[in-house]
Amino acid sequence: MNKKIAVLLAVPATLAMSAGAAFAASAGYFDAALHAVPHDHVADGGSDVTGRATLHLTGRTLDINLSASGLTPNEPHAMHIHGDVQAANECPGIEADTNTGDSIDPGSFVAGTPDGLISLGEGLPDYGPIDVSLTTTGDTSAASGLSLERFLVADATGRIAYHRSVVVPKDIAKNLGNLHIVIHGADLPGDADASSLSSLFEATLPVACGEIDNAGR
């Protein structure tokens, strides 16, 4: 992994205890409707990812079911729970696309020329850092954020179905209703290859985002 990216992804999720006690929960059902992250449809080749997640929290154990469709087929898709109290904690709108180009590192953006795509870095102020990596095996911390070999591969029709029970940090459990699920990775039409894996920009491109809501049951 590129060192700059490693640093970017390693930003610790310092979740302060939320003053919003209404959001605090140590058990319950949550869901998230995943909608396509807005992109220019020429720039992203018409990507339209949608999905749904249901989450059941018991203490710090989070049982996650997530299904999504419209993904680049036969390729891995990083998926995470994102968010912190410093971030706006919203899924990004197209106004987040303020920079040109193929950088996921806010330190090397070329400002002022939107390219129709919200990169990983451009979306970060909205959805915040990685809190939980929705890997299939092993570690689920932010450190596994780009361990693509441990994320689900979409099937030939671009669908994924994920189920795993993970133990999350206490602050994540308490603030679950403030956080978001983001799915990444799209092969873009603008380059010669037919894979997202040769480009970190493509492999990390946020393609769907959903705010986690307390399902109230």
Minimal distance in Å, beta carbon 22 to Cu ion? 26
Tell me if residue 33 falls in helix, strand or coil.
strand
Q: Count Cβ atoms within 10 A of the Cβ of residue 23 and give its class: 0-12 exposed, 13-18 middle, 19 or more buried.
A: middle
Select 124 or 188, whichever has its Cβ closest to Cu ion: 124
Residue with smaller CB distance to Cu ion, 87 or 182: 182
Question: Could you tell me how far CA 139 lies from the centroid of its own chain?
Answer: 16
CA angle at 127 for the pair 211 and 156, rounded to the nearest 5°: 70
User: Closest distance between Cu ion and the C-beta of residue 27, in Å?
Assistant: 25
Span of 25-33, 78-86, 95-103, 110-118 interacting with Cu ion by CB under 5 A: 78-86
What is the distance between the alpha carbons of residues 98 and 110, in angstroms, rounded to a whole number? 9
Least distance from Cu ion to the Cβ atom of residue 180, Å = 9
- Choice from 55, 182, 186, 188 touching Cu ion (CB under 5 A): 182
* Cross-strand pairs, 180: 82, 211
Cβ-based nearer residue to Cu ion, 145 or 177: 145
Q: How far is the CB of 217 from Cu ion (least distance, A)?
A: 27
Q: Which residue in this structure is represented by tokens 């978001």?
A: 180
Give the C-alpha separation, 34 to 206, whole Å.
Answer: 11
The correct pick among 30, 39, 62, 80 for binding Cu ion (CB under 5 A) is 80
Q: Which stretch binds Cu ion (CB under 5 A): 51-59, 99-107, 159-167, 176-184?
A: 176-184
Q: How many residues bind Cu ion (CB under 5 A)?
A: 2
Note whether 55 binds Cu ion by CB under 5 A.
no
H/E run at residue 62: strand 61-69
Binding site for Cu ion (CB under 5 A): 80, 182
